Amino acid sequence: MIDILQSLIPTVLFFSAPLIFTALGGVFSERSGVVNIGLEGLMVMGAFVGIVFNLTFADVFGSWTPWVSIIVATFIGAIFSIIHAVASVSFRANQVVSGVAINMLALGIGVYLTKQWYGKGQTDMVSEPFFRTDIPILADIPIIGPIFFQGIYVTSYIAIIFAFIAWYVLYRTPFGLRLRAVGEHPMAADTNGINVYRMRYIAVILSGALGGLGGSVFALTIVSNFSHSTIVGQGFMALAAVIFGKWHPLGAMGAALFFGLAQSLSVVSGGIPVLQDVPQVFLLIAPYVLTILALAGFIGRAEAPRANGEPYIKGSR
Amino acid sequence: MDHVIEMLNIRKEFPGIVANDNITVQVKQGEIHALLGENGAGKSTLMNVLFGLYQPEQGEIRVKGEKVNITNPNIANDYGIGMVHQHFMLVEPFTVTQNIILGSEPTTKSGKINIKKAEREIQELSDRYGLKVDPTAKISDISVGMQQRVEILKTLYRGAEVLIFDEPTAVLTPQEINELIEIMRSLIKEGKSIILITHKLKEIMEVCDRCTVIRKGKGIGTVNIKDTTTNELASLMVGREVSFHTEKKKAVPGQTILEIENLLVKDARKVDLVKGLNLEVKAGEIVGIAGVDGNGQSELIEAITGLRKANSGSIKLNNKAITNLNPRKVTESGLGHIPQDRHKYGLVLDYPVAENMVLQTYYKKPYSKATVLNFKEVYDKAESLIKEYDVRTPSASTLARALSGGNQQKAIIGREVDRSPDLLIAAQPTRGLDVGAIEFIHKKLIEERDKGKAILLVSFELDEIMDVSDRIAVMFDGKIVANVTPENTNEQQLGLLMAGSQLSEAGVHNDSE
Amino acid sequence: MTQNNRLFGILVPVISVLLGLLAGAIIMLVSGYSPIEGYAALWNGAFGDAFTIGETIRRITPLILTGLAVAFAFRSGLFNIGAEGQVIVGWLAAVWVGLAVDAPMILHLPLVLIVAMLAGALWGFVPGLLKAKLGVHEVIVTIMMNYIALFITNEIIRNVLTEQETTTEAIPATASLASEWLQTLTFFSRMHYGILVALFAAIIMWFIVQRTTIGYELKAVGFNQHASRYAGMNVSKNIILSMVISGAFAGLAGAMEGVGTYGTISVMSGFTNLGFDGIAVALLGSNNALGVVLAAILFGVLKEGAGQMPTSAGVPTELVDIIIALIIFFVASSYIIRWFLLRFKKEGK
Amino acid sequence: ACGSGSDKEEKESSGDSGSSKEAANEDFSAAMVTDIGGVDDKSFNQSAWEGLQEWGKENGLEKGNGFDYAQSNEKADYIPNLNRLIRDEYDLIFGIGFELKEDLQKVAKQYPDTHFAIVDDTIEADNAVSITFKEHIGSFLVGVAAAQKTETNKLGFVGGVDSPLINKFESGFIAGAKSVNPDIEVEVEYAESFGDPAKGKIIASNMYNNGIDIIYHASGGTGNGVFNEAKDIKQNDPERKIWVIGVDRDQHEEGQIGDHNVTLTSMVKRVDVAVKNVTEQAMNGEFPGGEKLEFGLEEDAINVATTNEDAMTKEIVDSVNEWKEKILNGDVEVPQTHEELKGFIDSL
Ligand SMILES: Nc1ncnc2c1ncn2[C@@H]1O[C@H](COP(=O)(O)OP(=O)(O)OP(=O)(O)O)[C@@H](O)[C@H]1O
Ligand SMILES: Nc1ncnc2c1ncn2[C@@H]1O[C@H](COP(=O)(O)OP(=O)(O)OP(=O)(O)O)[C@@H](O)[C@H]1O
Ligand SMILES: [Mg+2]
Ligand SMILES: [Mg+2]
């Protein structure tokens, strides 16, 4: 059992971390009332920037490169998401449309520039990705240590810490109260003197930052290079986590961890005798079927923030 | 200068309409100033201009004599202007406290919301002005009256000196209205000034000092309440004489149309809301259900109309059991329903007016044949209803969303009455409407009665109940506790019955027994 | 007002496309390519000769259908990200029936198309049912259903339709939409009669949505479920129906590939993207049938033409993705374009 | 290719496009259509392109003029790409990858006077040649190397998509390992994708956790995840002896981590050799139309990389060479399918 956990938990953590970051971004954006189908594109942008920066500056920053890379990717992700903010907040674009465009645009730009800069469709492998580490002290705790604190990525724990920070920000600070108010009833917020547009801009930019972070963490922990197939569907899984988690930061984190667990189980169970004879296809679809069952069984109805997806037009009723 | 607020020659246009055309309002320090006008006259618009939600095309605003430029609600707040909106501006999943502090939250040093401090401050305010609220309750769980008190607290919390109330009483029960009037008086005593928008002339006469009348976007003038009468106000507002008492012949009840026996309805949490209710409505009579909001009226109606499951008991329409049939079947059994919440139930706001006019009949000939819609028929019908019911809309293809509340209501009433149902349920049919529209609707209801239809009227307005009903059933705690006739009772007694007193205590004799 | 609206309805997309192409030209210039060569290549790639025109039409065909699928669901307030999975199962079903059944064309081909629609409909039914009965958000369920479709289809190809092969045999001519005549006409492009099916589907969609009580109910449910219930509509039924019809359109798109373009189905190592592109097509076409057809044409032309750009002008094909994305942004932000147009008009007066 | 405009009018009838070509060696031209992987996939597309480039260089040609490629971004692109090259009058057109099989088959029938070649699959047409490789043999040999190297007697195989082609790799690998030591266990996992590094990483993580010390991957981009995981473990514990065996190309570079390299060896498939070889034959008027060429050890088209000299000790290399001999001699019949593998193991 402990053996299984020991091989399960670390994979769950590294698989989930990028989803957690990105889903948190989705939570911010959607809590403020801006639907963000563009998470996939934000991740693509993050992965692209993370890898390119890493390749270019590995010599300069040495072992700090991956850290600087994800910070830069976060930053560029934030800037990139301004497009979504401008379109859906200021220009009253249909937010789903704008999100879909973000997805196409990010992939287009990423691969176009890759070809432009590297003369080929995919970059080389980075020399400074993230590596697993043991967390000092904690790793030595018996049983718990090996399961949770040995051979893990620091980024995984950062993701979990971020989820708690996001929860605190959203549910305990004035900023969070305002942000949620804007997503529930923008006109009420407006009459209370809250600048609805500014809040939504901030929320979308936060989602860009976190999406960029998620994408770069994915690229630098799992893939090591960038191509058109680096991010395929992770952003949509993150979106699913946002909804699965009922637009709550901790819920989204839980959902992302659940996806990671289901994925890992489908691989690990191949090695478990009882499950060995189960046809491969059932293991392959298991994570997705489990998610549906979980939703149908005990998660059930999730109410989106009331004003999610509605452009706020001052003075309309 | 004793004017706290002056709005001079204000003009505000919306695409295709001039909502405010050169209107002037001057509010004195410490007065309650009424703003009166028909539905769509431009009252809310004018107040939204004052509150900084809209920018006027022309005109100027002065606060205490000083010319100001109010470009957003924050600035209005800074000038001590607070507004309680016609449609509440409350975030439902938030608590009372969260709603009140939203936008000016007290924080601890670490940047966390200081919820304790906020709750304390709110408690103080609420004690001082007699605004009873539960600071930790969620908005979605509290009554409409309390929601309104939250709105008022919101303005006070921000230190408002001038409070704008946009139709505050439209959604309140008689008791709550009395409470509100008390609250307004205590606010004035504390040195505040109030602008009150209402359609209820009685209230204006009772509490206001002066009244500015607006008609179709234009200012008609300001009168001193002391020097005027309700009739004068009404004719100023609509530009003609209005009669308040609805003329009607004596009812000639026929056979029983609606028969409810031992009806029991629970809500999702398994709490009984309607507790073994019995009720009968005959052809050719209007039965009014009087009662304080929250005594099971909505659930009763929803159970009859098939929108909610009845847990036991029976409902018969035209001697046919309709208990727990789906809404379509119930409608087809001869029911018309003017719902309480017109935005939620009554209309598909994003459909054109015309398509809303066939919401109950679209699947029938001549509006459709073999599932294919016949738009010509739909629009012909709509045009004729629009004319007959005086629905003011640019065209039949205008989205229902664009209509004013009163006109939306007229559209619904037209649609439901036109089908000529055997039983017409009218839930709060005149809520938020001006006297002209109310008069019109009352006339329609009585016309239907005279055609031999059964009418069930649910209203929190005792005036309306007394005026229109042939028979009054008082509902309290999920049951009909008394059956009386308007001739044999008065508002005083009804009020007591609605509060749960026994018939004998209230000194009324029960007509049905 | 309405006249103005109609004018804008035409002007906004046209301006958006022009702006998108302009942006593309600027990007080419900045990256050191010749925009003229680039766009000439694009044009040739899409319309250069009968072959490319045939291929362009072929590419447009399934896009129309997935666009309709997504648009249809949108009409009742549902977001069907699952068109992708519905395409895959439709494709599988079409090829399966194509191979398994032996019948004259007049029966076989309709049967193939119907079964493909049923398969897509089934894949739409599951999220529809869960949404209607349990309130489970359709976006997650459809995303999950995509993966399930992919893996199950691969398994069936490998173990049921073939013996551990990656591609099935080709379907017989009786089940095929392909036509010698069309192919000869277009120098062996894979253009097939599916385009007629797709256009017919667009008319059906328009008719259902705009002219029938079914559409009236679906839209009403999309706008306001409470009012729909009040009006006696069965909200659950309409939600399910909407997803089922949406799925059927997508399933038909799969059939276009299965019995039109390829005549086979192969193990897929990733998604076809037809369903995801359908989202963009639907939105670009503002969820109405004619719009979807036009958007699919634009999409198909740009994507097909893009293939010629690297060989003829050295420009990476991704430039077209960027251009399409920008066009979508511009159309979506039509508010601002309208605003500019209005100002322009005012000043002109 | 820029001249395609003027070609258009002439290409009406497919008949005369290639009629006079056989003789005209001077302006012989060849081109290829990649599969979705793209020309820089660090795998067979890239390798094929390298072969074509080398041939071009030897004949003084340049890209776009004498040889070229057309990149496919999705399955639907194959036909247009093939046609584009046909219209540009290339004499020999390669389709790289089994995914192009059906489309190439179709086109070959439509244009009987153009020469075609498919890599990694077979098609039936007189104007087309099928190029396949004896991957099972290469896989067998890396299996032998792995069996020599393993300390845990547990090996892993990560496949891309479960298909006859990848089964060939799997079967050869298991046969090779078991030939050396029948007690060796090989765990097989298919990621069901050639582009899912996350899955690759989870599988690898799980395998290394379960005591497997060498993983052979035949999974394209999914393999990135395998390398990533191995390097990660190595980075943390340089003493840990774990390895990856690369595929198609020498994946030495992918295995580099600091001063270590986790790439034990790679099963190198010289698509370039085959492409160049066939192109030269065609240029010399000896196009092997209709034939099914199977490239292997003899042609130097299948190799076992020995770049990682520290890891591939002399003993291992010797052992690999020994088995190579046996195969060349016909002493060993390497299985290509699951069926054959069963028989093979039973016979051990
Ligand atoms: N945002 C808006 N856009 C367009 N027209 C509007 C808007 N708001 C109000 N109107 C129109 O302006 C006119 C005045 O509306 P307003 O809400 O001020 O009326 P009111 O006097 O408050 O009516 P009621 O008594 O029904 O509340 C109406 O014709 C209304 O339809
Ligand atoms: N800063 C704070 N200090 C103390 N109590 C707080 C603070 N903020 C919120 N609370 C209280 O904690 C409880 C939970 O608050 P929170 O805002 O998290 O509500 P919630 O029920 O989780 O929200 P939701 O239903 O929107 O998910 C409420 O009773 C709230 O009043
Ligand atoms: Mg108003
Ligand atoms: Mg009103």
Residue range D1-24, pLDDT digits in tens:
333 333 433 333 344 434 344 444
Q: What is the pLDDT of residues A148-193, one digit of tens each?
A: 888 889 999 999 999 999 999 999 999 999 999 999 999 999 999 8
Range of the domain at C239: 64-296
Residue scoring higher pLDDT (B64 or C349): B64
> Ligand 1 pocket, B86 CB below 6 A?
yes
Q: Which two structure tokens, joined as six digits, stand for A303?
A: 């109410």
Q: From chain D, pick out residues whose CB is under 8 angstroms from the CB of A129.
A: 228, 231-232
Please answer yes or no on whether C269 and D1 come within 8 Å at the CB atom: no
Which residue of chain B comes nearest to A184, CA vs CA?
B91
Final residue in a domain of this structure, among B386, B420, B454 = B420
Q: What average pLDDT does chain C have?
A: 92
> Ligand 1 pocket, B406 CB below 6 A?
yes
**Domain shared by B416 and B431, yes or no:** no
> Ligand 1 pocket, B407 CB below 6 A?
no
B132: how many CB neighbours lie within 10 A of its CB?
A: 12
The rounded Å distance from CA B84 to ligand 3 centre is 11
What pLDDT is stored for residue D22 in this prediction? 43
Q: Which atom of ligand 2 is nearest to the CA of B113?
A: 1
**Domain shared by B201 and B310, yes or no:** no
Q: Which residue has the tokens 């009840």?
A: B253
| Rounded Cα–Cα distance for residues B65 and B2 (Å) | 8
Q: What is the pLDDT of residues A241-294, one digit of tens each?
A: 999 999 999 999 999 999 999 888 888 766 666 666 778 788 889 889 988 998
Residue B252's pLDDT band (cuts 50, 70, 90): confident
Q: What is the pLDDT of residues C314-342, one digit of tens each?
A: 899 999 999 999 999 998 888 888 888 77
**Domain shared by B293 and B162, yes or no:** no
> What are the start-end ranges of the H helices in C263-317?
274-284, 289-306, 308-313
> What CATH number has the domain bearing residue B23?
3.40.50.300
Whose CA is closest to atom 22 on ligand 2? A171
Q: Which residue has the tokens 């290639």?
A: D18
Instruction: Give the SS3 label for residue B393.
Output: coil
Q: Which of B197-211, B497-511, C85-99 has the lowest mean pLDDT?
A: B497-511
Nearest to B277 by CA among B302, B307, B252: B302
Chain A: closest CA distance from residue D189 (Å) = 8
Q: Which residues pair with B28 in a beta bridge?
A: B3
Record: fold of A2-301: ABC transporter involved in vitamin B12 uptake, BtuC (1.10.3470)
Instruction: Give the SS3 label for residue B511.
Output: coil
**Domain shared by B55 and B30, yes or no:** yes
Continuous segment of H or E residues that includes residue A50: helix A39-61
Asked if residue D74 lies in contact with residue D103, where contact means CB atoms within 8 angstroms, the answer is no
| Rounded Cα–Cα distance for residues B355 and B397 (Å) | 8
Instruction: Characterize A225-260 residue by residue with b for buried, 16 or more Cβ atoms within 10 angstroms of its Cβ, and e for exposed.
Output: bbbbbbbbbbbbbbbbbbbbbbbbbbbbbbbbbbbb
Asked if residue B21 lies in contact with residue B63, where contact means CB atoms within 8 angstroms, the answer is no
Please answer yes or no on whether C230 and B326 come within 8 Å at the CB atom: no
Give the CA diameter of chain B. 73
Q: Which of B158-172, B466-480, D268-282 has the lowest mean pLDDT?
A: B158-172
**Domain shared by B483 and B473, yes or no:** yes
**Domain shared by B33 and B102, yes or no:** yes
3-state secondary structure B217-250: CEEEEEEEHHHCCHHHHHHHHHCCCCCCCCCCCC
Please answer yes or no on whether B362 and C216 come within 8 Å at the CB atom: yes
Q: Which atom of ligand 1 is nearest to the CA of B15?
A: 4
Point out the residue among B74, B77, B107 whose CB comes nearest to the CB of A174: B107
Torsions phi, psi for B434 (to 5 deg): -80, 170
3-state secondary structure A83-129: HHHHHHHHCCCCHHHHHHHHHHHHHHHHHHHHHHHHCCCCCCCCCCC
Instruction: Please name the amino acid found at residue C313.
Output: A
ipTM score: 0.86
| Rounded Cα–Cα distance for residues B8 and D165 (Å) | 85
Residue A1's pLDDT band (cuts 50, 70, 90): low
D263-269, strands of its sheet edge to edge = D185-190, D154-159, D214-218, D243-248, D263-269, D302-304
- A198: Cβ contacts below 8 Å, ≥ 6 apart: none
Instruction: Characterize C40-67 residue by residue with b for buried, 16 or more Cβ atoms within 10 angstroms of its Cβ, and e for exposed.
Output: bbbebbbebbbbbbbbbbbbbbbbbbbb
Are B and D touching by the rule of 3+ CB pairs within 8 Å?
no
The rounded Å distance from CA A171 to ligand 2 centre is 6
> Ligand 2 pocket, B102 CB below 6 A?
no
Please answer yes or no on whether D189 and A11 come within 8 Å at the CB atom: no
Q: What is the pLDDT of residues D28-46, one digit of tens each?
A: 999 999 988 788 777 889 8
What is the pTM assigned to this prediction?
0.89
> Ligand 1 pocket, A316 CB below 6 A?
yes
Tell me the range of A47-61, B125-139, D181-195, D227-241 where mean pLDDT is highest: A47-61
| Rounded Cα–Cα distance for residues A189 and A206 (Å) | 20
Q: Which residue has the tokens 């891309």?
A: D160
**Residue spans per domain, chain A:** 2-301
Asked if residue D58 lies in contact with residue D279, where contact means CB atoms within 8 angstroms, the answer is no
Distance from the Cα of residue B38 to its chain's centroid: 14
Site from D161, D202, D244 to mutate, A interface, most A CB atoms within 10 angstroms: D202
Asked if residue C64 lies in contact with residue C290, where contact means CB atoms within 8 angstroms, the answer is no
Q: Which atom of ligand 1 is nearest to the CA of A315?
A: 1
The DSSP secondary-structure symbol of B10 reads E
Q: From chain B, pick out residues whose CB is under 8 angstroms from the CB of C135.
A: none
Q: From chain D, pick out residues whose CB is under 8 angstroms from the CB of C272.
A: 74-75
Within-domain flag for B339? no
What pLDDT is stored for residue C264 in this prediction? 93
Whether the pLDDT of residue B510 is over 80: the answer is no
Q: What is the pLDDT of residues D152-178, one digit of tens each?
A: 999 999 999 888 889 999 999 999 999
**Domain shared by B49 and B38, yes or no:** yes
Which residue of chain C comes nearest to D76, CA vs CA?
C59
How big is chain B by its Cα radius of gyration, in Å? 24
Q: Which two structure tokens, joined as six digits, stand for A218?
A: 């994915």
**Domain shared by B316 and B452, yes or no:** yes
| Rounded Cα–Cα distance for residues A220 and A293 (Å) | 32
**Half-sphere exposure at residue B117, Cβ-oriented, CA atoms within 13 angstroms:** 10
Q: Which two structure tokens, joined as six digits, stand for B484?
A: 């009386």
What pLDDT is stored for residue A263 in this prediction? 86
What pLDDT is stored for residue A122 in this prediction? 86
Query: For a pocket test of ligand 2, which of B100, B115, B138 has the largest count of ligand atoms closer than 8 A to its C-beta?
Result: B115
Whether the pLDDT of residue B175 is over 90: the answer is no
**Domain shared by B9 and B111, yes or no:** yes
What pLDDT is stored for residue C1 in this prediction? 44
Query: For a pocket test of ligand 2, which of A172, A173, A248 has the largest count of ligand atoms closer than 8 A to its C-beta?
Result: A172
* Tally of domains within chain C: 1
Final residue in a domain of this structure, among B361, B385, B420 = B420
CA C35, C38, C43, C46 torsion-angle sign: negative
**Which chains neighbour D (Cβ–Cβ under 8 Å, 3 or more pairs)?**
A, C
Q: What is the pLDDT of residues B334-379, one digit of tens each?
A: 999 999 888 889 999 999 999 999 999 999 999 999 999 999 999 9
**Domain shared by B91 and B166, yes or no:** yes
* Tally of domains within chain B: 3
Angle at A103 between CA A102 and CA A104, to 5 degrees: 95
**Environment class of B94 (CB within 10 Å of its CB; exposed 0-12, middle 13-18, buried 19+):** buried
**Domain shared by B171 and B266, yes or no:** no
Please answer yes or no on whether C130 and A291 come within 8 Å at the CB atom: no
**Domain shared by B451 and B503, yes or no:** yes
Whether the pLDDT of residue C34 is over 70: the answer is yes
> Ligand 1 pocket, B363 CB below 6 A?
no
**Which chains neighbour A (Cβ–Cβ under 8 Å, 3 or more pairs)?**
B, C, D
**Environment class of D331 (CB within 10 Å of its CB; exposed 0-12, middle 13-18, buried 19+):** exposed
Nearest to B462 by CA among B220, B247, B172, B180: B172
What pLDDT is stored for residue A270 in this prediction? 60
B315: how many CB neighbours lie within 10 A of its CB?
A: 24
Point out the residue among D73, D195, D197 whose CB comes nearest to the CB of A222: D197
Which residue of chain C comes nearest to D77, CA vs CA?
C307
Q: Which residues pair with D115 in a beta bridge?
A: D92
Q: Which of C20-34, C274-288, D139-153 has the lowest mean pLDDT?
A: C274-288
Nearest to B54 by CA among B87, B11, B16: B11
Which residue of chain A comes nearest to B402, CA vs CA?
A317
Please answer yes or no on whether C231 and B368 come within 8 Å at the CB atom: no
Nearest to B151 by CA among B172, B165, B137: B165
Final residue in a domain of this structure, among B420, B455, B477 = B420
Site from B348, B372, B398, B412 to mutate, C interface, most C CB atoms within 10 angstroms: B348
Chain C: closest CA distance from residue B454 (Å) = 20
Distance from the Cα of residue D206 to its chain's centroid: 27
Whether the pLDDT of residue C3 is over 60: the answer is no
Site from C58, C147, C166 to mutate, D interface, most D CB atoms within 10 angstroms: C166
Range of the domain at B354: 344-420
| Rounded Cα–Cα distance for residues B427 and A290 (Å) | 46
Q: Which atom of ligand 1 is nearest to the CA of B199?
A: 25
Please answer yes or no on whether C223 and B351 come within 8 Å at the CB atom: yes
How big is chain C by its Cα radius of gyration, in Å? 21
Strand D115-119 and strand D128-133: the pairing is parallel
| Rounded Cα–Cα distance for residues B447 and B453 (Å) | 9
Q: Which two structure tokens, joined as six digits, stand for B346?
A: 């009554």
What pLDDT is stored for residue A94 in this prediction? 87
**Environment class of C2 (CB within 10 Å of its CB; exposed 0-12, middle 13-18, buried 19+):** exposed
Within-domain flag for C311? no
Q: How many residues does chain A have?
A: 317
